[in-house]
Amino acid sequence: MSPTPPPASPRRKLLVALYVGYLVLVGGYLTYGTFTQTGLGGWVLAQELEWFGSASQKLTVLLPLAVAMVLPLLLLAPFLPKGERAQLAGPLLPRPPARPISWPQLLLLGLVPPLVALPTYYYLQRQAERDESRPVVALDLVARPDTPVPADTKYARLQAVLQADYQYVLQETSYSQVRKTDRYVPLTGPDWQPGQPVRFFLDTSTDAYFDEANQRSIVFDQATPFSVTFSGQLHPNALPTVVRRAFGQYRVTAAEPHYVLENLYMPNGQPPRAASQQYWIIPVLGLGLGAAILVGGGIGLLIRRRRGLA
């Protein structure tokens, strides 16, 4: 029989907890930055596009995460007892328990997913219902280019001049098939000139604008600016890093703060109500995962008991 390893020191246990928490925070930050194309994730994504002409979302998350995993190990090594420093190659992961979990421990593990999912569902549901009751704020950049954005504005109906000559298109592909297209176009007043800061940018998946007043369609791919009216959700300071870089080459600079208008279909001029109807999956997944833990773990413990191992 192999000798039983000595128990981990209290300092090691504390460092393990800090390290796991750090990885969760860094992983969440990188994932969020990759999908919003801002922050560190947005910078890495922009570098990939600049160097290779394309970018991978998985690589954008995993590459910085790998670096983030190694650096703390090197920094924490001096604080560990000498006998435990060699185990950093593990890395700082806890040792497997010497005994199988008990029934109370299994019950506790099975309750964790529902206890996390239900409050999360309640919070997101209430937030979505509150957002759906917000007014759609009308902003007219044609009549007043410096019109202020009221505090806590989430949805807006924006009348502006679409600078069709300055646009950047991002395409998300999977197996050589285009899954998503984001077209970013500056929205300005009628007297805007290159070099002047831009406060609003349109984010849309369409390539044409339907003029309801004149019952005609206008394609975006042209050099002539034209007046438009778009409705959608305002995202403060959300212009992706790669888009900001591309616009900078044509003297299109984002103001601080700036807003990205995500083009949304608003029936009867009201915010979309689909958001509050999609969160039911959260408690379903939480309850399902908890049940799977209890059933699977319970079967495993019963088998061990029948074999006389528990």
State pLDDT tens for residues 159-199: 999 898 888 887 777 666 667 788 899 999 999 999 999 99
pLDDT at 269: 72
Position 78 pLDDT exceeds 80: no
What is the per-residue pLDDT across 119-166, written as a single tens digit (0 to 9) for each?
Answer: 888 888 888 788 777 888 899 999 898 888 988 888 999 999 989 888
Q: Is the pTM of this model over 0.85?
A: no
Find the DSSP H helices in 185-240: none
pLDDT surpassing 70 at residue 92: no
159 CB-side CA count, 13 A:
9
Report H helices in 191-260: 241-248
Residue 64 main-chain phi, psi, to 5 deg: -65, -30
Q: How would residue 87 be classed by pLDDT, with cut points 50, 70 and 90?
A: low
- 171 against 229, higher pLDDT: 229
Mean pLDDT of the chain: 79
CA distance 50 to 245: 10
pLDDT tier, 77 (very low <50, low <70, confident <90, very high otherwise): low
Structure tokens at 134: 């917000």
Among all chains, which residue has been given the structure tokens 């509050």? 276
User: pLDDT higher for 38 or 158?
Assistant: 158
CA distance 287 to 290: 5
Which of 5-14, 85-94, 163-172, 198-207: highest mean pLDDT? 198-207
Among the listed residues 77, 81, 87, the one whose alpha carbon sits nearest the alpha carbon of residue 9: 81
pLDDT of residue 9: 60
Of 201, 188, 173, 307, nearest to 260 by C-alpha is 201
Higher-scoring residue by pLDDT: 73, 185:
185
pLDDT of the residue at 281: 85
pLDDT given for residue 91 in this prediction: 47
Report whether pLDDT(13) > 50. yes
Helical ranges in 144-250 per DSSP H: 241-248
- Determine the length of the chain: 310
Which range (192-201, 255-264, 273-282, 299-308) has the least confidence? 273-282
The answer to whether 254 touches 187, Cβ cutoff 8 Å, is: no
The closest alpha carbon to 168, from 201, 131, 217, 214, belongs to: 201
Summarize the confidence of residues 15-37 as an average pLDDT.
77
| pLDDT (tens digit per residue) in 244-254 | 888 888 889 99
d(CA 216, CA 180) in angstroms, rounded, equals: 25
Other CB atoms within 10 A of residue 34 CB: 23
Residues of the chain above pLDDT 90, percent: 11
Cα distance between residue 131 and residue 155, in whole Å: 9
Any idea where the domains of the chain sit in the sequence?
8-96, 105-134+276-310, 136-269
Residue 7 binned pLDDT confidence (cut-offs 50, 70, 90): low
pLDDT at 29 over 70: yes
